[in-house]
Amino acid sequence: MSFFRVQSAGADPADPADPADPADPAALLSPDMQVSESYCSGTVRAGISVCDSLEELAAYLAGSGVPFDATSIVVELDGPDSDDTDETAISARA
């Protein structure tokens, strides 16, 4: 299944909130990089944050406050879907 995310052009693989070198998007699927921090609650969760489509990513970025700029890149990657509940969807309904 394909997913999309915005990745900082200056990503730091040692920082769980900035998980991989964008020059190697496959590194995002590395088990060592399967950690992300929620912008909704600041909690650390297993896996990386992604959206199902470019349209969903654009809507998420417009409403979330996630920092991005002209140096950010959009990464498309394939990976398994998570059994976790979508935290952003819960926040939007609250």
- How is the chain split into domains, by residue range? 2-81
Which of the 8 DSSP states describes residue 8? Answer: -
What is the value of pTM for the model shown?
0.67
56 vs 17: CA distance, rounded Å: 21
Share of the chain above pLDDT 70, in %: 69
Average pLDDT in the 24-44 region? Answer: 74
* Alpha-carbon Rg for the chain in angstroms: 13
Average pLDDT in the 65-70 region? Answer: 82
Burial of 20 (0-12, 13-18, 19+ CB in 10 A): buried
Q: Which residue type occupies 11?
A: A
Q: State the chain's mean pLDDT as an integer.
A: 74
